[in-house]
Structure formats: C-alpha cells, structure tokens
C-alpha cells in the first residue's frame, strides 16, 4: 500500500532514498532548507552528481508541512546533527509518528546510539526504526542490487517497513538486535578508515587481517553493551565491509587513504567522529579496542600511521582473537 513518506536530508543518501521510495510507488516529499546548496541545485536542475530526481518526487522547503503530511519520516543527516534536527522538528509542530534513521554513527560526546537520541528528544511521540547495511548510491542507481537491514524495538513498525520498502533492488532483512546493529553499523566506518590508511601506504594485503580482528573487537563491545555479539558478523558490520573496506565509493576508506597521503577529503566521513565515541564506550565498559584506539591516536594525537597500524599486527601471537 502506498505511503506518504517525507525524507529529511537532501544529500546523496537522502536524495537517493527519496528517489528509490518514489520509484517503488510511494508518495514522497524530499525536504531541505531553501538556502542549502543541495536543495538549490535540485530546485534548479532536478539532479546532483549522483542521481536525477523522478518527476513525481516533490521538493519541499517547509519542515512543518513536510512533517504534517507524512505517514513515515525518513531522516538522513550527519549523525552529529540529529539532536538539533529533532528539536527543530518539535519547534515545527511534530506531534508524533513513524521515524526511520538511515544514517550510521554515534553521538559525541555522549557516545549514545542514534535511536537513543530520538527517544530522549521525542519520547513516546515517535516510533523509531533504523535502516542500515551495505550499498552505495552509485551502484543502486546503476541497478546493482543489495541486501539491507531494518531494525526497531517496535515489531509492528519493523514488519511494516520491511514489507513496504523492499524491492528487487533492495531486499530488507528483519533486524533482531538494535544495540548490535547500531553499534556495528557505526563501527564499520572506523574499520573503513583503517583500511583506507593501509591502501594509502601500499599495504592492502593486510586488510584481511584487519577485517578479521576488527569484527572480533566490535563483537566484544556489542556484547559488553548488552547486544548480541554475533550481530557483528551480520549485514550491519562484517556484511558491510565490501562496501566500506574495499569500494572506491566508500567515503571512510577514501578519507583514510588520502589522510596518510597528506591530502584532504572534502566529504563527510562519519568514522572520524564515531571513533571517539567508540573508544569512550570501550573505556567505560572495559573493552579492548586496539584498532579503534589506533585510528583515534592517528587522527587526533598525531601518531605515525605506519607505526600505529604495524603495531596492530605485531600484537601477541598467542591467539588470533
């Protein structure tokens, strides 16, 4: 059954989601402030460097109108902007409804999962789900299919979204561990940065070891936070490694590669912020995260990348994990 969907955020993912949901039969509005470069470009040309918007897709610059008409609101903004956006939504008259977070990260400095941020700001007004998993806008736009995950504490919302949002292009799986899926999805971006650093130093062959150890350390953190450690081996984390650790479209991998080459990456790499939240959580819960700690030391404390990453592979040989 067709739903009235509002997508908040007209960057590469928000615009793709709006286009995708329009294409599978939903009545979609794409919202962005009138003075932002993305919305200005869409208003003028109906396309950006990734996609051309479908004719049926409506562009809105009114947050209040966009929220009022929606059966489901999808949010795709930088993770550090989420709390501020939720407060804007309340100011714009949001009284309640179904929210879907299509974003991967943790809030700084709190280290909180994004669904927790929604609960704190909106309380019982919102039924919240997360949309995570592998895939790049460029590949989806070329018709290359992939599998993704929808998870929520609300089983009815989860079932509704999986049924209404699935297609031949994106097959959705039912998530069964909101903690593990959110932490795993956020953490894979940090592993992506480390992988990019290895690429930049000509050490791509070490990415196999990085993947093996990275999955295990994130599994430990998920368990310590009360989630199912096996979630780290699903689509939220290990299942997203091909798209994050190897793909030329990966922002986090590209950021890491250019960082060690001394070049600047101009786009958002969520792992840059997420790594600080992960190491804070690890300290709070007494979990050893050697890869995340090393990436943080390189990015924020000036540690030599080659020395730091080589040090990871010189750790004790007594146990692989």
Q: Which residues are catalytic?
A: 188
Of 163, 136, 135, the closest CA to residue 236 belongs to: 135
- Residue 127 CA to residue 183 CA, distance in Å, equals 20
Q: Is 130 helix (H, G, I), strand (E, B) or coil?
A: strand
CA distance 125 to 196: 40
Which DSSP string do the residues of 226-278 spell out, in sequence order? TS-GGGGGSTTTGGGHIIIII-TT-HHHHHHHHHHTT----S--THHHHHHHH
Coil/strand/helix, residue 121: helix
| Structural contact between residues 186 and 270, judged by C-beta atoms closer than 8 angstroms | yes
Query: Could you tell me the two tokens for 155?
Result: 């089983």
Burial 69-90 (b: 16+ CB within 10 A, else e): ebbbbbbbbebbebbebbeebe
Reported as type and span, the H/E element at residue 109 is: none
Calpha distance 67→93 (Å, rounded):
8
Say how far apart CA 87 and CA 70 lie, in whole Å: 18
Exposed, middle or buried: residue 128 (CB in 10 Å: 0-12, 13-18, 19+)? Answer: buried
């Amino acid at each position: 059954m067709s739903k009235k969907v509002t997508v908040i955020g007209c960057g590469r993912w928000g615009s793709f989601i709006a286009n995708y949901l329009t294409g599978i039969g939903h009545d979609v509005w794409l919202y962005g402030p009138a003075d932002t470069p993305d919305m200005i470009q869409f208003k003028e040309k109906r396309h950006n460097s990734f996609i051309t918007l479908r004719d049926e897709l409506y562009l809105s610059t009114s947050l209040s109108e966009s929220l009022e008409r929606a059966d489901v609101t999808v949010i795709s903004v930088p993770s550090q902007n989420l709390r501020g956006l939720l407060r804007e939504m309340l100011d714009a008259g949001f009284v309640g409804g179904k929210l879907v977070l299509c974003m991967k990260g943790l809030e700084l400095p709190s280290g909180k999962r994004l669904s927790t941020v929604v609960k704190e700001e909106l309380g019982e007004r919102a039924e919240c789900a997360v949309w995570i998993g592998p895939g790049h806008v460029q590949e989806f736009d070329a018709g290359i299919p992939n599998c993704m995950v929808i998870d929520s504490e609300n089983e009815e919302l989860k079932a509704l979204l999986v049924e209404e949002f699935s297609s031949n292009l994106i097959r959705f799986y039912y998530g069964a561990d909101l903690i593990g899926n959110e932490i795993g999805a956020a953490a894979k971006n940090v592993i992506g940065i480390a992988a990019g650093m290895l690429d930049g130093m000509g050490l791509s062959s070490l990415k196999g070891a990085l993947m093996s150890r990275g999955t295990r350390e994130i599994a430990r953190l998920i368990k310590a936070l009360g989630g199912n450690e096996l979630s780290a081996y699903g689509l939220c984390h290990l299942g997203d490694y091909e798209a994050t650790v190897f793909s030329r479209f990966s922002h986090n991998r590209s950021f890491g590669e250019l960082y060690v080459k001394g070049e600047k990456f101009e786009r958002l790499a969520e792992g840059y912020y997420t790594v600080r939240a992960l190491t804070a959580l690890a300290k709070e819960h007494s979990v050893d995260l050697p890869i995340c700690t090393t990436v943080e030391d390189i990015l924020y404390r000036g540690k030599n990348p080659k020395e730091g990453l080589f040090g990871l592979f010189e750790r004790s040989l007594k146990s692989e994990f």
